[in-house]
């Protein structure tokens, strides 16, 4: 028996206090250890987790990364060695190592144990026996399921080709490739358009592809002084919030610009209620104020942005190709105040002028008027006065001016967004955010907007631009067709599932007839539910890998029980940190008794093998790996070993030592945060190497008339105009708002499924707290009922609902008293018409609705 | 020389709390794990000793309040218990002796903070601190809610120890107590400013 209060620090100097601080562990913990805390306490000695004591008592320490949402925060588990999988045999809590890049977990992490053995868990392969959407299934064996799916897939592909098969995922986006790519199917189209596409596009256009990802650029929360959050609730990752909480103890301030007050704003933060779809107007007026009051960083703007670059009258940049026959189109010009002449932007030692205007002679002998992009920006911003913005945003001009001044005086930043509900003008909104940041010039320094170095975890399978696919196991083959339907329609997208729907419904550009869904809640994810349903109804085959009974499973021909994150091993980079860090997801437990869950990769490869064994062989898969345990040992583990060895080589580390460190503490920081790199040492990744406040790429491609962020009214819905008409906006909370955590039992009490209305709006409609209302779309003919919540946490004129919290219609939810609450409330996508931004393919999920009082919440 | 008795107090920092619910769930899992998938029908809530209340302050600003047993020095529940089942321990905590409790619910109704709930199986009035957290603090560890908080918004300790973190916070931060006008002398402090 271990010493109950052993004091030796076994987790690399983690003190008990450090270990305990923030452990929502307990959330899973006590329940999970039979005998309660009296059994668990012996492992938490005065100096932290006493691994030796735990081991002596038959427990193993395992680390993982939480997948209850996409934030990947660190978790640690004590697992009883050799015991059967049971809630009683593992203890789950936050990884409390003080150096963990994403410490602790939140309400969502605390729901992991509820998910693992949830009554909604998919336990065996299911085959549909009712109509699509009805949710009537029979349980079948794995062999039958895989054989039938493989036969249907083969019959389809042999006739229609592999392009008739589409795949969609979310956080599991690398898994469908194991079937799709050997099959030659280009259409793996995931969730981004409803999440991050607008931000990705804006960052790529302005900072370059290397910094386009939403986790590649983040405020330096540890040293934050002032952060404005347009649209973002910052409820994930909890590690970022934890760091911001520490900075707030040192005086940092957070400002949330949002139609509804996020929970994070309770923490003595400022909430500025703003009309949906008007963020760009607010932020451009901030730019106007920064320039008008000379509060911008002129040195940064001149040296590191393209605002000194010269533009012609046609709003295109002056290039060497304009001035010389055979000149480069990627060489731009600016005015050098030192020499009094023009200089190519690549010329060293020039003193860029921001306000030059003049005439230049072109290669064809003609002359052209040119002016700096800065001059053009000043002209562009002229109309965006605080008063003008007030008329659009309904934010008082004085508040806007104060925020602009505080951003300047406190050396703040504007957060560059991850997910928030969209209105159809969102790429411009993120461009406006980045324009404010460019004017502030607060990049890559303490408290500024900083850049994450990549962890360089080798991909298990990768595809080059020419279609050549290679796996870490040494196999390779070529895909003839790699262009997905969304890229054909939206050249700048990183994933627009609506293009798949169009291919299903209209056969354009060609018909798609089968869909594989891996761990994504399509009916809670994509706007215009009726359109999604019509597409699902038309498909010849729908196969879904899931852990829980989601609404999409009711529409599937086959539902295959997939492993939850607690049951699988994986090596991955840790996002949302400004360090280069890697995390080790160990399998904490096997699936609960009766749950025949399988690895998503195994499912993909087994279907492939049964349909086309020769294609499975392309990636080294054959019948000898059909046993799931053998597959994990001989295939997945080997891949992970190779990943780890590649990672170690990339960072010049000893692979065995790295493996040991990952096993011991669950993570490895490969490179600490380094300030002063971008753009001071390394340039931005744009063609010009500058921060392109004037986005050249979309202008030169003809996507936009000019390159500046612009506000225009949200095109995604009819604007509310009558007293009973409202914007319908959704947003996340820190407890249940993810596709997985939203189905956990605590959501019943810790979230709500009501429609939030401002007290003034409720009074006008004669509504009181809890009253039933009927909600009808202004653009979509969909009517539903819900209860009203009267709260000043929502802006007047706006109806707000939590996303992933209500309006679930799957049969299992309706039939289980404990989970029937999930069928209350609304799914915002019922009312959204699926407006897509041209070029980027970013989707809007906000809508407008009419609300009236009714006598019952049940229609 | 007499050693001063302990005065264990809870501290909740309203300027740091993000309302994530981790403490609420941690409380249930720690003190009433058998209630994980069951509703506490009195509050129609998760069976937790912490209640999450949203309200609006005098300036119209939305506010969040986490309420739990205040461990009042002049606790109405201690006064009203006909059987002496509810009483203070040496550390200042209000405790329930299940052996003496008849389940009359006087303590539930007399609590001005409305933080007790009746366990559907045991018939006992539940509240902070539950059995799991008493085990924790008995080992010198923070209660579950303090451990669970990712925003450093909770603390627990001995107010009579000037070196304790709660004493330091109470000396340096602006705090208030709930329903103080009732004279209950609560030992639950809400940090409201710097």
Exposed e or buried b for every residue in A671-695, given b needs 16+ CB within 10 A? eebebeebbeeeebbbbbbbbbbbb
Q: d(Cα A394, Cα A543) in Å, to the nearest integer?
A: 47
Contact B29 A268 (CB under 8 A): no
Distance CA A719, CA A593 (A): 52
Q: What is the pLDDT of residue A188?
A: 97
d(CA A527, CA A540): 22
Q: How far is CA A70 from CA A73, A109, A520, in A?
A: 9, 11, 12
The dihedral sign for the CA sequence A195, A199, A201, A203:
negative
Domain with CATH 2.40.40.20 in chain A: 725-853
Give the pLDDT score at A738.
86
pLDDT tens sequence across A443-480:
999 999 999 999 999 999 999 999 999 999 999 999 99
Instruction: For residue A303, give both structure tokens.
Output: 């040296």
* Dihedral sign (CA A144, A150, A155, A156): positive
Mutate to test the interface with B, among A16, A36, A37, A770 (most CBs of B within 10 A): A37
Of B30, B150, B152, the CB nearest to A26: B30
Residue B35's nearest CA partner among B51, B50, B48 is B48
Give the residue extent of every domain in chain B: 8-193
The answer to whether the CB atoms of A110 and B135 lie below 8 A apart is: no
- Kind of pairing, strands A48-49 and A44-45? antiparallel
Which residues in A lie closer than 8 A to residue B148 (C-beta atoms)? Answer: 22-27, 110
Q: How many CB atoms sit inside 10 A of residue A856's CB?
A: 8
Q: Give the pLDDT of residue A859.
A: 62
Architecture of the domain whose range is A217-451+682-700: 3-Layer(aba) Sandwich (3.40)
The answer to whether residue A712 neighbours chain B at the CB level (below 8 Å) is: no
Residues A146-164 pLDDT 10s: 999 999 999 999 999 999 9
Q: Please state which CATH number belongs to domain B8-193.
A: 3.30.70.20
- Strands A253-258 and A449-451 come out as unpaired
Closest CB to A242: pick one of B54, B135, B151: B151
Q: A20–B36: do the CB atoms touch at under 8 Å?
A: no
Please list, in sequence order, all residues whose beta carbon lies within 8 angstroms of the beta carbon of residue B157, skipping any fewer than 6 positions away.
B8, B9, B11, B164, B165, B166, B167
Contacts of A20 in chain B (CB under 8 A): 141-142, 146-147
Residues of B in contact with A31 (CB under 8 A): 29, 33, 36
What residues does A229 pair with on adjacent strands? Answer: A256
Report residue B109's pLDDT band, with 50, 70 and 90 as the boundaries. very high
Q: Among residues A339, A314, A133, which one has the least CA distance to residue A702? A: A314
Residue ranges of B 71-130 with Cβ closer than 8 A to chain A:
none
Please give the pLDDT value at position A24: 33
CA distances from B181 to A715, B178, B185 (A): 54, 8, 9
CA A168 – CA A679 distance, rounded (Å): 36
Contacts of B15 in chain A (CB under 8 A): 248, 267-268
- Determine the pLDDT at residue A44: 55
Strand (E) or helix (H) holding A20: helix A16-20
Nearest chain B residue to A794, by CA: B62
| A106 inside 8 A of chain B by CB | yes
The total number of residues shown for chain A amounts to: 859
On chain B, the residues whose CB falls within 8 A of the CB of A28 are 29
The CATH number of the structural domain formed by A725-853 is 2.40.40.20
pLDDT band at A43 (very low <50, low <70, confident <90, very high): low
Residue listed under structure tokens 């605002």: A307
**What DSSP designation does A457 have?**
P
Q: Which residues of chain A are in CATH 3.40.228.10 domains?
A: 217-451+682-700
**DSSP secondary structure, A380-406, as one string:** HHTT--HHHHHHHH---HHHHHHHHHH
The predicted complex's ipTM stands at 0.90
pLDDT tens-digit map of A725-766: 999 999 988 887 788 999 998 899 888 999 999 999 999 999
Alpha helices in A586-654 (DSSP H): 600-611, 613-617, 628-631, 637-650
Contact B150 A16 (CB under 8 A): no
- The rounded distance, in Å, linking the Cα atoms of A4 and A76 is 20
Comparing A24-28, B39-43, B132-136, B149-153, the range with the smallest average pLDDT is A24-28
CB contact under 8 A, B30 and A110: no
How many C-beta atoms surround the C-beta of residue A325 within 10 A? 7
Reported as a pLDDT band with limits 50, 70 and 90, residue A107 is confident
- Beta-carbon contacts of A383 under 8 Å, excluding residues fewer than 6 positions away, are none
pLDDT of residue A49: 62
Residue B184 has pLDDT above 60, yes or no: yes
Bond before B129 cis per omega within 30 degrees: yes
Which of A30, A261, A735 faces B62 most closely, judged by CB atoms? A261
User: How far apart, in whole angstroms, are the C-alpha atoms of residue A618 and residue A629?
Assistant: 21
| CB-facing half-sphere around the CA of A475: CA atoms within 13 A | 18
Mean predicted confidence (pLDDT) in A317-342: 96
């Amino acid at each position: 028996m271990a010493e109950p209060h052993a004091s030796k620090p076994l987790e690399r100097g983690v003190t008990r206090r450090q270990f305990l601080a923030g452990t929502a562990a307990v959330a899973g913990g006590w329940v999970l250890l039979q005998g309660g805390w009296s059994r668990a306490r012996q492992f938490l000695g005065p100096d932290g987790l006493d691994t030796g004591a735990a081991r002596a008592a038959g427990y193993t320490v395992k680390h993982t990364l939480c997948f209850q949402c996409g934030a990947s925060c660190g978790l640690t588990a004590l697992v009883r060695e050799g015991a059967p999988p049971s809630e009683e045999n593992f203890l789950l809590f936050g990884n409390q190592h003080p150096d963990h890049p994403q410490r602790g977990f939140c309400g969502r992490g605390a729901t992991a144990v509820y998910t693992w053995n949830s009554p909604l868990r998919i336990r065996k392969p299911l085959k549909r026996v009712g109509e699509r959407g009805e949710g009537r299934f029979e349980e079948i064996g794995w062999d039958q399921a895989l054989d039938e799916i493989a036969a249907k897939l083969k019959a389809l592909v042999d006739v229609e080709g592999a392009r008739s098969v589409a795949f969609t995922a979310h956080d599991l986006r690398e898994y469908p490739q194991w079937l799709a790519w050997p099959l030659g199917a280009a259409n793996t189209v995931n969730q981004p358009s409803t999440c991050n596409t607008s931000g990705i596009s804006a960052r790529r256009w302005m900072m370059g592809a290397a910094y386009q990802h939403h986790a590649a650029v983040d405020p330096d929360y540890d040293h934050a002084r002032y952060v404005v959050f347009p649209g973002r609730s910052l409820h994930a990752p909890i590690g970022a919030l934890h760091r911001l909480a520490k900075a707030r103890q040192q005086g940092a301030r957070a400002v949330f610009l949002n139609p509804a007050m996020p929970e994070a704003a309770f923490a003595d933060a400022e909430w500025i209620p703003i009309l949906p779809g008007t963020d760009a107007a607010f932020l451009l007026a901030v730019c106007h104020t920064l320039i008008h009051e000379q509060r911008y960083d002129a040195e940064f703007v001149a040296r590191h942005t393209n605002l000194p670059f010269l533009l012609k009258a046609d709003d295109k940049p002056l290039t060497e190709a304009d001035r010389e026959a055979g000149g480069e189109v990627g060489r731009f010009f600016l005015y050098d105040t030192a020499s009094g002449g023009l200089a190519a932007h690549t010329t060293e030692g020039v003193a860029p002028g921001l306000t030059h205007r003049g005439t230049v002679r072109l290669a064809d002998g003609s002359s052209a008027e040119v002016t700096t992009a800065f001059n053009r920006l000043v002209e562009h911003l002229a109309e965006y006065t605080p008063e003008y913005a007030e008329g659009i945003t309904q934010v008082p001009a004085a508040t806007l001016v104060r925020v602009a001044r505080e951003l300047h005086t406190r050396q703040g930043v504007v957060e560059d967004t991850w997910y928030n509900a969209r209105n159809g003008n969102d790429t411009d909104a993120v461009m406006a955010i980045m324009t404010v940041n460019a004017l502030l010039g607060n990049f890559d320094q303490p408290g500024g907007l900083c850049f994450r170095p990549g962890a360089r975890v080798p991909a298990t399978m990768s595809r080059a631009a020419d279609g050549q696919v290679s796996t870490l196991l040494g196999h390779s083959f070529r895909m003839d067709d790699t262009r997905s339907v969304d890229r054909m329609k939206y050249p700048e997208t990183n994933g627009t599932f609506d293009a798949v729907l169009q291919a299903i419904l209209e056969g354009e550009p060609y018909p798609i007839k089968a869909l594989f869904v891996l761990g994504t809640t399509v009916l809670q994810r994509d706007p215009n539910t009726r359109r999604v349903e019509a597409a699902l109804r038309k498909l010849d085959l729908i196969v879904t890998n899931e852990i829980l009974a989601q609404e999409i499973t009711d529409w599937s021909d086959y539902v295959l029980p997939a492993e939850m994150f607690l049951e699988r091993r994986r090596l991955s980079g840790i996002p949302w940190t400004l360090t280069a860090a890697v995390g080790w997801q160990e399998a904490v437990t096997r699936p609960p008794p009766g749950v025949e869950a399988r690895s998503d990769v195994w499912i993909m490869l087994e279907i492939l093998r049964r349909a086309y064994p020769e294609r499975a062989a392309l990636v080294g898969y054959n019948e000898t790996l059909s046993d799931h345990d053998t597959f994990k040992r001989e295939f997945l583990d080997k891949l992970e070993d190779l990943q780890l060895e590649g990672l170690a080589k990339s960072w010049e580390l000893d692979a065995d030592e790295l493996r040991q460190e990952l096993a011991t503490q669950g993570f490895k920081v490969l490179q600490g945060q380094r300030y002063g790199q971008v753009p001071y040492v390394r340039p931005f990744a744009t063609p010009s190497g500058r921060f392109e406040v004037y986005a050249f790429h979309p202008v030169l491609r003809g996507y936009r008339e000019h390159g500046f962020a612009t506000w225009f009214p949200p095109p995604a819905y009819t604007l509310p105009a009558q007293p009973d008409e409202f914007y319908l906006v959704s947003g996340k909370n820190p407890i249940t708002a993810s596709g997985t955590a939203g189905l956990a039992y605590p959501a019943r009490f810790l979230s709500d499924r009501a429609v939030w209305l401002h007290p003034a709006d409720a009074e006008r409609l004669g509504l009181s707290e809890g009253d039933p209302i009927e909600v009808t779309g202004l653009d979509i003919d969909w009517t539903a009922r819900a209860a009203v919540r009267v709260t000043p946490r929502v802006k007047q004129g706006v109806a707000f609902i939590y996303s992933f919290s209500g309006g679930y219609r799957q049969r299992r939810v309706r039939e289980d008293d404990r989970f029937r609450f999930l069928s209350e409330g609304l799914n915002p996508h019922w009312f959204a018409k699926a407006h897509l931004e041209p070029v980027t393919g970013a989707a809007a999920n906000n809508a407008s609705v009419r609300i009236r009082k009714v006598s019952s919440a049940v229609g | 020389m007499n050693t001063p008795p302990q005065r264990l107090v809870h501290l909740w920092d309203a300027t740091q709390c993000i309302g994530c619910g981790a403490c609420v769930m941690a409380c249930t899992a720690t003190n009433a794990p058998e209630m994980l998938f069951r509703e506490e029908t009195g509050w129609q809530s998760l069976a937790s000793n912490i209640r999450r209340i949203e309200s609006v302050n005098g300036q119209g600003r939305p506010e969040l309040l986490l309420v739990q047993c205040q461990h009042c020095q002049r606790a109405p529940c201690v006064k009203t218990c006909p059987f002496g089942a509810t009483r203070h321990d040496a550390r200042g905590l209000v405790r329930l002796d299940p052996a003496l409790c008849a389940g009359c619910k006087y303590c539930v109704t007399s609590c001005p903070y409305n933080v007790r709930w009746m366990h559907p199986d045991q018939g006992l009035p539940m509240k902070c601190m539950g059995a799991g957290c008493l085990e924790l603090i008995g080992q010198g560890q923070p209660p579950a809610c303090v451990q669970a908080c990712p925003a450093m918004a909770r603390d627990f300790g001995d107010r009579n120890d000037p070196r304790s973190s709660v004493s330091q916070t109470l000396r340096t931060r602006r705090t208030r107590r709930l329903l103080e006008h009732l004279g209950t002398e609560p030992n639950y402090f809400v940090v409201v400013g710097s």
